[in-house]
Each structure stands twice: as C-alpha cells, then as structure tokens.
Amino acid sequence: QKEVEQNSGPLSVPEGAIASLNCTYSDRGSQSFFWYRQYSGKSPELIMSIYSNGDKEDGRFTAQLNKASQYVSLLIRDSQPSDSATYLCAVNTGGYGQNFVFGPGTRLSVLP
C-alpha cells in the first residue's frame, strides 16, 4: 500500500523563523512530489512541486527531494503569521491516469 507520512504537528515557530516540514513516502516508483497549503475551511492550493533530487527554491519556499531516502521536505524562510495553515505533502505515483497520494498534513502555527 502506497503511503505518505508527515508529522501531524502542530509545529509552532516564531515570526521570522525558518519552518521545516518533513515527509516520507513508501513507493519507490513515485515520480513527482508536491507541497500543498490548506487554510481552514478552504481547498488545498499548490505551493511547490519538485521532480528531481536536490533543492528547488521559489521565494521564501525551498523544497528538497532525496529519492534514495524517500524523503521530501519544505523550508519556509522568514515565516509570517499568514503562513499558518496545514501543509500537505503529496506524491504522484504516475502511470496511466495518475494517482496523487496525500500525507495526513502538518499543522503550522506562526506566532507573531
């Protein structure tokens, strides 16, 4: 069974600090990896995608992928109170028709 695991949190960081979110996945055939942010009562929105090993930076966000360790992470620099949300790690196992498997999410709270 394909699984994606995350620490459920809550993870609390002070404003301006770096928030570090982690994710592991079980299916070695997984091809692409995503971080979604979900505010309470809203739908998940994509904030980062990463397809190859290494780091990918976009503004204050950096995604890191290590396929050998089956590990994905998200760093949020200069955390803001508006970053407080649940962060969902998702893995696309690819193939015909796609299959996005989500982790349980990590709740992040950025304290002013």
Partner 1 sequence: DTAVSQTPKYLVTQMGNDKSIKCEQNLGHDTMYWYKQDSKKFLKIMFSYNNKELIINETVPNRFSPKSPDKAHLNLHINSLELGDSAVYFCASSQDNGGNTEAFFGQGTRLTVV
The residue ranges that bind partner 1 (CB under 8 A) are: 31-32, 34, 38, 42-46, 49, 51, 86, 88, 90, 92, 94-102, 104-105
Query: In whole angstroms, how close is the CB of 26 to partner 1 at the nearest point?
Result: 15
Which C-beta is closer to partner 1: that of 95 or that of 112?
A: 95
Query: In whole angstroms, how close is the CB of 97 to partner 1 at the nearest point?
Result: 3
Which C-beta is closer to partner 1: that of 13 or that of 101?
A: 101
**CA 76, CA 61: separation in Å to the nearest integer?**
5
Query: In whole angstroms, how close is the CB of 94 to partner 1 at the nearest point?
Result: 3
Which C-beta is closer to partner 1: that of 19 or that of 35?
A: 35
**CA 95, CA 76: separation in Å to the nearest integer?**
31
Assign 88 to helix, strand or coil.
strand
**CA 9, CA 54: separation in Å to the nearest integer?**
25
The amino acid at 72: V
Assign 83 to helix, strand or coil.
helix
